[in-house]
Amino acid sequence: MRVDKWLWHARFAKTRTVAAELVKAGLRLNGTRIAKPAAQVGLGDVLTFAIGPRVRVVKVLALGTRRGPAPEAQALYDDLSPPPPPPDLSAPKASGPRPDKRDRRRFAAPAPDRLD
């Protein structure tokens, strides 16, 4: 099966065009970089690719016959990628799209010295 079609069946890409762009952006098949979306993928192959800030490593368990619901798509692969990093809670959160007066004061205030 074509790798772009498999990525679409496994719901890593919303469309086959996006799946083809994902392959062209840099996808590794068993550790070897492939550049063509028509590369063949089979059972037991390991795919490594980046989606957003995460690097995904998946092992192909089955070849799908259709792009079905999410539970069916998740049965096509085994996720070997490390868990995502925890969110950075030290960054200040804004209450809305623009910081209000309270947020601006908090941003401008110097950080307390930990030695005091």
- pLDDT tens column, 48-105: 999 888 889 999 999 989 998 999 999 999 999 888 878 777 766 655 678 788 877 8
Q: What is the mean pLDDT of the chain?
A: 86
Find the mean pLDDT for residues 11-28: 92
Distance CA 107, CA 116 (A): 21
Closest CA to 4 of 29, 33, 38: 38
H or E stretch at 28: strand 27-29
Residue 58, φ and ψ in degrees, nearest 5 = -130, 145
With b for 16 or more beta-carbon neighbours within 10 A and e for fewer, the 74-87 pattern comes to: eebbeeeeeeeeee
The residues, ordered by sequence, that sit 6+ positions from 36 with a Cβ below 8 Å of its Cβ are 23
Distance CA 106, CA 103 (A): 5
Tell the CATH topology of 3-79. 3.10.290
Distance CA 78, CA 44 (A): 10
